[in-house]
Amino acid sequence: MPQRPRYGTWLVGLALALLGVLLLAACSPAGGEPSLGAAMSSSPDVSTIVSKARAAHYIDLTYTLEGEIQAISSSGQDTTTGEGQITTKPKRVHFVQHTTLTSGKVVTQEGIGDDATQTLFAKTAFSGQPTPTQWTKLSASDGQLVSASPPTIAALSHVQLVGPDTVVGVAVWHLMGTMDVSGTHFAVDYYVYQNTYLPAKIHTISSGQIVGETTILVMKFNTGLTIDLPSAGQVLGD
């Protein structure tokens, strides 16, 4: 019987934690006001920007990811790049990331996360190995999966407004805040477009169980993309 790939479940978990941050401005439920810090710029104030970011919705987005990440149990820092998509109806994420280990080997991971079932379908392949033809199914009960449920902007604490900035030449508001996910603390630089208040870029510095620095850049919105879950015959053990 095929065994689950053991390496890299922390990478998958971190990816979902970071991708959850991308959804801070989407699908905001009523209540649960964010914790606000003192504004670092006087116009507009931080509460106004956060309120408009909470009200800004999208159907789907496409992003790129790059960073350096180290698990607390590892001896070196690994370099990761990736790309993926997020949909909000239904709430799903699909990503592919390539991690170069300190040994020089490259690990490629592909994942599909489904919020409704709290399930992640994953594939992992090392340098020189073929990509598995079947998916491994993980769930929150495995203790290996950081929730794929997208947090709202209320998940950020001590939110501050740094001021105006630009991302790829487009005007944005630069916010700062913090969040904690499964033993990892994230200091988050969160950029929203000034014209739509949708997310433009997420930069995180993490400490605790996972140490690293990661940047997620949103490339486009509302292209009509869909994310399908693997069929039963494509999943190990089903």
Range name among 39-48, 51-60, 149-158, 219-228 with the lowest pLDDT average: 149-158
> Is 60 exceeded by the pLDDT of residue 148?
no
Distance of alpha carbon 235 from alpha carbon 135, whole angstroms: 5
pLDDT at 237 (0 to 100): 74
pLDDT at 97 (0 to 100): 87
pLDDT in tens, 179-200: 887 788 889 899 999 999 988 9
Range name among 38-52, 54-68, 146-160 with the lowest pLDDT average: 146-160
193: left (phi over 0), alpha (psi -120 to 50) or beta: beta
DSSP E strand stretches across the chain? 60-71, 78-88, 91-100, 106-114, 119-126, 136-139, 157-167, 170-181, 184-193, 199-208, 210-221
Q: Higher model confidence: residue 3 or residue 188?
A: 188
pLDDT at 171 (0 to 100): 94
pLDDT in tens, 55-80: 888 899 898 888 877 665 556 678 88
Count of other CB atoms within 10 angstroms of residue 237? 10
Most confident of 10-24, 39-53, 71-85, 212-226: 212-226
| Mean pLDDT of all residues in 151-178 | 87
Task: List the domains of the chain with CATH numbers.
Answer: 9-234 (2.50.20.20)
pLDDT tier at 129 (50, 70, 90 boundaries)?
A: confident
pLDDT tier at 17 (50, 70, 90 boundaries)?
A: very low
pLDDT tier at 29 (50, 70, 90 boundaries)?
A: very low
| Mean pLDDT of all residues in 147-171 | 77
Structure tokens at 79: 């370099």
Distance of alpha carbon 16 from alpha carbon 150, whole angstroms: 9
> Among candidates 66, 74, 58, which has minimal Cα distance to 96?
66
> Is 80 exceeded by the pLDDT of residue 114?
yes
Structure tokens at 129: 């190995």
pLDDT tier at 172 (50, 70, 90 boundaries)?
A: very high
